[in-house]
Chains A and B, each alone.
Chain A
Amino acid sequence: MSLQTPLGERVELERQKRFMAAHAACHDRIYRYFRRRAENASTAEDLCAEVFRIAWEKSGHGEELSAMFLFGVAQNVLRNHLRSAARSANLMLQLQLERTGQARDADGSVHEALARLKPDEREVLLLTYWDGFSSSELSDLLNTTATAIRMRLHRARKALGRLLQAEQESEEYQR
């Protein structure tokens, strides 16, 4: 039997407000996060919806729907998506190739260089440059120290710099 009380209504209203506030604040960033990593817009939409479905569920348990929390959920959702869709060991490569194919017209060599980075270094680099996270935010998100993040970012920048330089030299040589 359902018993609706003024207190219950108020609590539920507060929950909805918190949820809508979190949605308004974070939806676009999270959608873009998936758009960068999923195979297409439709999948990004699905994954984004899943994040907010989970967030709604968690909000019922009093979870604070901060940006970091939502991105943590987004990470897990993406990981599950990739895992469940992985029919072959090189799925990541396929996804990468698919994505880079979409943007190849813009600067394919950058995508190729990014694909050659170590996965954890690439992720820190992309979370920094594309998703706009700071080192301290990333340390929360990736559950490591800010120093480790900075070191990883430093290595990623160096490696990418080397790759882009090599690519440039190769192009000049071919001319």
Chain B
Amino acid sequence: MKDLSAADEQRILSADPAANVTEPELARSRSRSLAFMESDATHIFAGGPESYSRPPARRWRAAGAFLAAAAVAAAVLTANFLQAVPVETPAATESVSAPSPAPTSAPAPTPPAGPFHDLFLSADEVLVLEALPNAARNLRAGLGVEPVNVRQVLKGDLTPGETAVDVASAEEGINGSLLWRDSRNEAPFTYLGFFARGADGGLHLIEAPHALLQIQNIRTAATVDPATDEPVEIGADLQSRINVAPVGDVPVATHGGGSLAASAPDRILGTQAADGQRDGEVRGYVAASEACFTFSNSTEKVYLRWPAGFTAKVTPLMVDAEGHVSYFGTTLANRAVILNEWGFIYMADLDTRPLVQGELSMETASCGGETLPVFDVWPERAGGSPFQKGRGVALPTP
């Protein structure tokens, strides 16, 4: 039986009668398919009761003016919509035929299926961003225009990198800039944000529920409400578009749990030595498809098993003469590191005094040629990182 060859498929695509549809043809149809909104006659079949007695288009223009004055997409109308919809204004007509930034010349991504379809569609920029520290800021002040590092642009013209965005509208929920970024100086919070570009050209968080979500697990893109920590389902489609997870990492054994519960049993810290220092060392072994880590001190050695979302990789870090990762190191060396669920280094090979905490299981596992008792690591909190804690929010990231 003959099936279609790739060449045949190409012939079908080439034979598409709509392949040569021109932009003016589309623009004409766009305008035509909105024309009924301008007409009182069509208003009748639009089925509006008395509440629709004003011509819809006039109200639409009024809405546009209101939004422009508000300088934010207080609801969900955006500049993109205004550009994309030529409602009889010369400027709008021009924007359709202009090469840039007409939406047709750089089409917006298809909105994701699921609960965030409309919000995505409405936003000018949909960003995955990290809240950066702002030392000059009065910590008691509320949220305002905040420095961020844009990790990924899901929609919009922005390029990844550092910028500033207005997140003041999130203040009520988040309650202050301390929680917006990270008061622990360990790792920046990562957010998914829906922004509208205001009349001032700046990006303003849309005033809508869940316009700002915290990404709790950077690999699965699991999101929570930053005010309540309640999980927020964004849908598989949008989730699959978020791609800021570390590259080149490998799986490690996990125990499926999260951070340490307040009443966690059998909490174990690194052994306290006589001089008050904790005695212990982490070793990491990273292979092509898997990795394992051990922790040992003067009295015991265990196989470390990690919370869900942790992975490992080899990454270059500054090390001192003894090979330990150090601020004051003079040499760059590859080191096996374990990454937490936010993608930040949790521990590194040859880390000393690593403050391992968790509980000993009844199982054993092999690592580095040794069979060892398994110790389940329970971080102090979500996103927590002993490694980052000692080095600050900005240093180093994988």
A interface residues (Cβ-Cβ under 8 A, vs B): 1-4, 8-9, 12-14, 16-18, 20-21, 23-25, 27-28, 31-33, 35-36, 41, 44-45, 48-49, 51-53, 56-57, 60-61, 66, 99, 102-103, 106-107, 110-111, 114, 125, 129-130, 157-158, 160-162, 164-165
B139 contacts A by Cβ under 8 Å: no
Decide if B21 touches A35 in the complex (CB within 8 Å): yes
B140 contacts A by Cβ under 8 Å: no
Residue of A nearest to B13 (CB): A129
If A21-B121, A24-B85, A158-B1 touch, whether A31 touches B75 (CB-CB below 8 Å) is no
Decide if B12 touches A44 in the complex (CB within 8 Å): no
Decide if A16 touches B63 in the complex (CB within 8 Å): yes
Which of B26-34, B216-224, B312-320 touches A? B26-34
Give 1 or 0 for each of B13-40: 1 = CB within 8 Å of chain A CB: 1111110010001101110111111000
Q: How far is the CA of A27 from the CA of B76 in the complex (A)?
A: 19
B interface residues (Cβ-Cβ under 8 A, vs A): 1-5, 8-9, 11-18, 21, 25-26, 28-30, 32-37, 42, 45-48, 50-54, 56, 59-60, 63, 75-77, 80-81, 84-85, 103-104, 110-111, 117-118, 121-122
Decide if A49 touches B51 in the complex (CB within 8 Å): no
If A21-B122, A41-B25 touch, whether A57 touches B63 (CB-CB below 8 Å) is no
Residue of A nearest to B25 (CB): A41
CB distance from B122 to the nearest CB of A (A): 7
Decide if A158 touches B3 in the complex (CB within 8 Å): yes
Give every chain B residue within 8 A of A158 (Cβ-Cβ). Answer: 1-4
CB distance from A32 to the nearest CB of B (A): 4
> Which of A4, A52, A160 touches B34 (beta carbons < 8 Å)?
A52
Residue of B nearest to A61 (CB): B47
Give every chain A residue within 8 A of B18 (Cβ-Cβ). Answer: 32-33, 35-36, 130
Give every chain A residue within 8 A of B26 (Cβ-Cβ). Answer: 27-28, 31
Interface of chain B, main secondary structure? helix
Most buried by B among A107, A114, A125: A107
> Which of A4, A27, A33, A66 touches B33 (beta carbons < 8 Å)?
A27
Give every chain B residue within 8 A of A107 (Cβ-Cβ). Answer: 11, 14-15
Decide if B29 touches A25 in the complex (CB within 8 Å): no
Q: List 22 A-B contacts (CB under 8 A).
A: A12-B56, A16-B56, A20-B60, A21-B76, A21-B118, A24-B80, A24-B81, A24-B84, A24-B103, A27-B29, A27-B33, A45-B33, A48-B29, A49-B33, A56-B37, A57-B45, A103-B15, A106-B15, A130-B18, A160-B8, A161-B3, A161-B8
Give every chain B residue within 8 A of A53 (Cβ-Cβ). Answer: 33, 36, 42, 45-46
Give every chain B residue within 8 A of A51 (Cβ-Cβ). Answer: 33
